[in-house]
Amino acid sequence: MKRNIILLLGLGLLFLNNLALCSQKIRIDASQKYQTIEGFAASDCWTAEFVGKYWHEAPKKSIAKYLFSQKFQADGSPEGIGLSMWRFNLGGGSSEQGDASDIEDIARRGGCFLDSSGLHYDWSKQAGQQWFLQEAKAYGCESLVAFSNSPLVHYSRNGKAYATGDGKANIKEQHYGDFAEYLATVMQHFKQKTLAFKFLSPVNEPQYDWNISEQEGSPWTNEEIKQLITELDLSIQKRELDTKILIAEAGSWNSLIKKEGRASNQIFDFFDKRGVNYIADLPSLAPIIGAHSYWTHGSNLQLRDTRLDVWTAAKKQNLKVYQTEWSMLGDAPQQMAFATSYDDASYMDIALFMGKIIHSDLAFAQASSWSYWTSMGMELWGHKNRFLLLALEPGGNPYNPIALSGIVRDRSTLWALGNYSFFLRPGFQRIKLIGADDLNGLMGTAYLSPDSSKLVAVYVNMANESKKITTQLDNFNGYEALNNKIYLTNKSYNLKKINGTGSEIYSPDKEINIPARTMASIVYDLKQNTTGISDVYVDKIKVYPNPIQASQILTIDIPALNNHDIVHLLISDLTGKLIYKADFSSANNTLSISLPADFDKGSYVLQIKNENKIYIHKLLVH
């Protein structure tokens, strides 16, 4: 059989235009739909306060770009990972206590906005973290989440932000309402600053005792959580806030579904009317259950079955599932296509295993949101990138004091998360992908944009050999692929776009090689074909000036447009995000608009739609 082979030298990526017997046949079926993506996140613990407050502007800006940018570089590769959620830690006041907090590591102390008298608020506190909040907003991060690890020291039973060891919540009985009022007041303040939080998560890993003075934390029983959430709901409702309460940041998936010690069986206990601590009827409580993806990957069977059980329980109560924290805690995984030990593991080994966890949380638990733990930190004691996306070197050395401005290094975990977070924007819906479900080999999931204009498939290849795939698209309601764009993360490439002759040409029998130990995002631009209700025309209209500058008048000439048709103008960026929309009528086949002054430079897709035609044209803004 004759094959047309195009080898992209230096990239090691091979495209075969005809079907080969050794390829895996992937089928993506748009008729089978699952969860809708609501966001990918990381948190500002533990170092963002010091970086944002004390570091020089250049490294701070570099961090913000890495985390939040949704733009592309000149070669088409993303310049950041486009996080769509950002988690802001509401400290318990140990920072103000200083050494008296007993927490030796100053970065693990948390500040608070209430002064020691408990009467006055100082909104200049947590200034470094607030700097990153502002950057997240400026970059277009869609959702902000506030989370608390401990009640304020003002209200705690031992006057500290860590617990006593008796397994009870570290808050005095008379201060539940005061703590709720504090949290709601903070939410109200940031709403007034146009930094409204979508979610507030008031407890964290309540299953643990938190009686060691290494960081802020408090245990909670389900009964104590119910008491706090009931008070917090009243405080939020009183202020007429839109912020929703997110629970319960369980320390593992098992605590949601099993009766194992304190704060367990939480889906049933909080959301089933038969539960002793039922609170699902509170108006401020989000119909979401959140947990951390720790301690449930001892085997591939556990990895899959635990998450399937979580989804079964959540679905029964009509709940969405959020994975709200993960980093690579615990011993090195065995028999999981990982290195024999952490000492032997590479940075990419760690990032690839994270990709496997994300895949499993999305595919089996049907998580609508996925969050990493510490976005930035120092690489200490040989941990490599197990606990960070960005490595910090204060004063050029990770063991220097964190308040020294220094160097930022992007790690493979950043870009591996970006294979999901950059392309899967809020509103994308997971659809059926068949043919890649080997948790020690090639696994994949697929997602469709809300307007059906973009399809994204994300693959994790844990195998030590490359995997060749062909992809068939089924039941897309008259939409077909215009192209496919491939982005790789591995030991050599950081979310690198593969460019070259034939790299973006799509056909169902085109063979794509996913290299060994690689994460790949394949993005398909879709159009409605001419056999549907609309005719689609690509580059059949005149758009000028093009390139154009923001604030200039853009003119569009459209042939054969019926007089007085209602015309829909849409301008989207290359990720599929809608940037501009206008509806109007035209009597002379010519449309003119003033391009908004805040249009960023870059490439866009312009669409003109009327009752039975779609015109598509590329637009460049300089």
For residues 300 and 347, membership in a common domain is answered with: yes
Give the residue ranges of DSSP H helices in 239-334: 254-257, 266-271, 300-316
CA distance 24 to 379: 39
Mean pLDDT (whole number) for 230-245? 98
CA distance 424 to 400: 37
CA distance 483 to 114: 55
Residue 9's CATH number: 2.60.40.1180
Residues with Cβ < 8 Å from 246, sequence gap 6 or more? 145, 147, 199, 200, 201, 286, 288, 290, 322, 324
DSSP string, 458-474: EEEE-SSS-EEEEEEEE
Handedness of CA 246, 247, 253, 257 (dihedral sign): negative
Residues with Cβ < 8 Å from 470, sequence gap 6 or more? 19, 23, 24, 25, 26, 508, 509, 510, 511, 512
Confidence of residue 612 (pLDDT cuts 50, 70, 90): low
Residue 6 has pLDDT above 50, yes or no: no
The pLDDT value recorded for residue 7 is 32
Which pair of structure tokens corresponds to residue 336? 């999981």
Residues with Cβ < 8 Å from 244, sequence gap 6 or more? 198, 199, 200, 284, 285, 286, 288
The pLDDT value recorded for residue 564 is 57
Handedness of CA 82, 84, 87, 88 (dihedral sign): positive
Task: Give the amino acid at 119.
Answer: L
- Considering only 26-35, 327-336, 462-471, 594-603, which range has the smallest mean pLDDT? 594-603
Residue whose C-alpha is closest to residue 158's, from 109, 198, 100, 110:
100
Residue whose C-alpha is closest to residue 609's, from 525, 549, 527:
527
Does 431 reside within a domain? no
3-state secondary structure of 499: coil
For residues 505 and 482, membership in a common domain is answered with: yes
DSSP string, 546-575: SSB-TTSEEEEE-TTPPTTEEEEEEEEETT
Residue 229 phi, psi (nearest 5): -65, -35
For residues 489 and 594, membership in a common domain is answered with: no
Does 428 reside within a domain? no
For residues 21 and 89, membership in a common domain is answered with: no
- Considering only 40-54, 137-151, 374-388, 581-595, which range has the smallest mean pLDDT? 581-595
Last residue of a domain, one of 511, 528, 545: 528
Residue whose C-alpha is closest to residue 219's, from 264, 176, 173, 168:
168
Sheet containing strand 602-609, edge to edge, reads: 535-538, 613-621, 602-609, 565-573, 578-586
Residue 212's CATH number: 3.20.20.80
For residues 25 and 174, membership in a common domain is answered with: no
CA distance 433 to 95: 48
3-state secondary structure of 164: coil
Tally Cβ neighbours within 10 Å of residue 580. 15
Does 475 reside within a domain? yes
For residues 450 and 415, membership in a common domain is answered with: no
Handedness of CA 85, 29, 439, 367 (dihedral sign): positive
Residue 18 has pLDDT above 70, yes or no: no
Mean pLDDT (whole number) for 281-293? 98
Confidence of residue 4 (pLDDT cuts 50, 70, 90): very low
Q: What percentage of the chain exceeds 90 in pLDDT?
A: 81
Does 427 reside within a domain? no
Residue 527 has pLDDT above 80, yes or no: yes
Residue whose C-alpha is closest to residue 224's, from 252, 243, 205, 203:
203
- Considering only 20-24, 174-178, 248-252, 541-545, which range has the smallest mean pLDDT? 20-24
The whole-chain average pLDDT of the chain stands at 92
Confidence of residue 575 (pLDDT cuts 50, 70, 90): low
C-alpha distances in angstroms, 183 versus 119, 120, 171, 189? 14, 14, 14, 10
Contact 365, 323 (CB under 8 A): yes
Residue 471 phi, psi (nearest 5): -130, 125
Residue 473 has pLDDT above 90, yes or no: yes
Q: Domains in the chain: how many in total?
A: 3
Q: What percentage of the chain exceeds 70 in pLDDT?
A: 93
For residues 557 and 609, membership in a common domain is answered with: yes
For residues 469 and 547, membership in a common domain is answered with: no
Residue 295 has pLDDT above 70, yes or no: yes
CA distance 496 to 358: 20
For residues 55 and 16, membership in a common domain is answered with: no
Does 426 reside within a domain? no
Residue 512 has pLDDT above 70, yes or no: yes
Does 430 reside within a domain? no
Confidence of residue 319 (pLDDT cuts 50, 70, 90): very high
Last residue of a domain, one of 480, 503, 528: 528
Residue matched to tokens 């809708």: 36
Task: Give the amino acid at 154.
Answer: H
Confidence of residue 2 (pLDDT cuts 50, 70, 90): very low
Contact 591, 606 (CB under 8 A): no
Residue matched to tokens 């948390």: 110
For residues 333 and 235, membership in a common domain is answered with: yes
Element of type H or E holding 236: helix 222-238
Residue 528 has pLDDT above 90, yes or no: no
For residues 17 and 69, membership in a common domain is answered with: no
C-alpha distances in angstroms, 191 versus 85, 96, 196, 240? 16, 25, 4, 11
Tally Cβ neighbours within 10 Å of residue 100. 11
The pLDDT value recorded for residue 118 is 87
Does 154 reside within a domain? yes
Which pair of structure tokens corresponds to residue 334? 């065995």
Q: Tell me the pLDDT tens digit for each residue of 27-40.
A: 999 999 999 999 99
For residues 285 and 322, membership in a common domain is answered with: yes
Last residue of a domain, one of 528, 549, 566: 528
The pLDDT value recorded for residue 502 is 73
**pTM score, whole prediction:** 0.84
Element of type H or E holding 619: strand 613-621
Does 365 reside within a domain? yes
Residue whose C-alpha is closest to residue 125's, from 36, 49, 17:
49
To the nearest 10°, the Cα dihedral for 12, 18, 19, 22? -30
Domain housing 497: 5-33+437-528
CA distance 549 to 551: 6
